[in-house]
Structure 1
Amino acid sequence: MLKLNIKNETSRLRAVVLGTAHSNGPTPKVSECYDPKSIEHVLAGTYPKESDMILEMEEVYNVFQKYGVKVFTPDIIENCNQIFSRDIAFVIENKIIKANILPDREKEFEAIAKVWNQVEEENRIILPPECHVEGGDVMPWNDYIFVGTYSGEDYPELITARTNLDAVIALQELFPNKIVKSFELRKSNTNAKENALHLDCCFQPIGTNKAILHKNGFLIEREYDWLVNFFGKENIFEITKDEMYNMYSNVFSISEDVIISEKGFTRLNKWLVEQGFTVEEVSYSEISKQEGLLRCSTMPLIRD
């Protein structure tokens, strides 16, 4: 059995699910895309090739090997995009919670049955159908669970609106000892630079008390201000609109002092090194064309 343990985003990682780019399928039609950035690359003829994405994910796998992390990968489904394992389930404390994702992604969840079935039954959580939630919107941070959400009336029309308030309430009921703090995100089906697909597209805690943040990703300024006050202005790396578009906040922590980051994030990586972090640089720019990066393609199972 797997003894799950996730209390925050940065404690020493011991086991993780890493998505796979194998048998990723042909370039999707615009109508099949889940986000505006993928649409942009489909129309431009620059949608990433499977062979390039396989190489990028191997780089991350090798970093995990270097640090002795146990890596689970999904069973391969023919012609199916299975890169973003964070979307399909997530772990908080000793519970694994199945995300109620877009219906046509249900088979991606079935491909991690070998992980799900290793968890004690009472710790496998399936939320009620009205609760929409994806792992990119959910961040355990010690006494808190930060959740990105969207409550506008146009929720049903927005393919980019992934987590609703029903899910926020359900998480509070599941974890009564935690403070569940939700943040309204800015959404756009058409403009990737105005779209925070998930909370981890505009915010991520790192180390013990620092964070990467993008102000325009938040719909309500006082919610952004709350995070600035919580971490302290001097501990925040504020990213620009272009940097958010390039997924600067979507790095991944192996521990409180080791971070995997895209090698092209020169401004961020320089700052991280100045702050005393070890930065493991990888190529991930092809994967980022689908509006997801390192955090999106990993689902931590056990941290110390």
Structure 2
Amino acid sequence: MRHLPPLAAVRVFEAAARHENFTQAAAELGMTQAAVSYQIRLLEERLGLPLFVRSKRRVTLSEPGRKVAPLVSAAFDEISEAFESVTQEDDGVLTISTPQTLASNWLAPRLGTFQIERPELAVRLQTSNAYVDFARDAADVAIRIGVGPWPGLCQHFLMRLPGTPMCSPDFKAQHGIESPRDLLRVQRLTADDPLWSEWMRVAGLSEPDGETRRGIRLDSQVAEGNAALAGQGVALLTPLFWKAELASGRLVRLFDAVAYERSPIWLVYPEHKRARPKIRAFRAWLERAVASEAAVGPAEDFTLPED
């Protein structure tokens, strides 16, 4: 077991010993001269030895003080180097946690521009629909779908996501889908998703009372989109995430009506990391990326959250 003197007093002694001046030590540490004198006296009483020789105009190190001062300074240098090595290693890696569909269909294809802006950073992308635990998991930031608030986390609104029915061209032709009402008789993927009910309300439809929709239920939009591409049914998808498939004609958007997810998308990270350069850089880049999508894409892809 270590028998250490009060570390606050040791810190004050180290500064005072370097300057051999209590006033300059106080200025460096953001303390008053009286507080420096008090801490030094506490340390001297603990040791039972004088560390400084005091005269009317100045203080100088005593013999015990001269003996211990370089050892204390060296110890502080080692502590500083230890923490700097950890910080430098951590500052070189940015770990992002994000839901699966957002990662694969939107974020991952755009991360290259962030890497060009910050080539000194290694970027790691963790995909999971579960909320990351910042106290336990190795993540710096997360893109999270929810309503919050999340205590201890900074949160920045990014966007809300619309959903609209899409399917393969062959599925549309095979089932003769021409109007929203036709969706009541075809296979809808994850038909019990509450967003389907909201879309049908927006489209002016209602399912027959007592009808239970059976069929394929998938746990992510990327799985639903891939099933729709394979001709397995109609999926409620976000146009923003399927631009390439829509442009190539592999998916077709059936109708103009959209329904919005109730939970917006946020960027979140621990409050104690708010000043970290890599966090600030990623937030600025991400907000620009979202803004650029809003500038060139349909207005329906981005909207402010409801109060």
Same fold (TM over 0.5): no
Give me the TM-score of the superposition, normalised by structure 2. Answer: 0.22
Structure number with higher helix proportion: 2
Higher normalized contact order (CA 8 Å, seq sep 6+, divided by chain length): 1
Q: Which has the higher strand share?
A: 1
Larger radius of gyration: 2
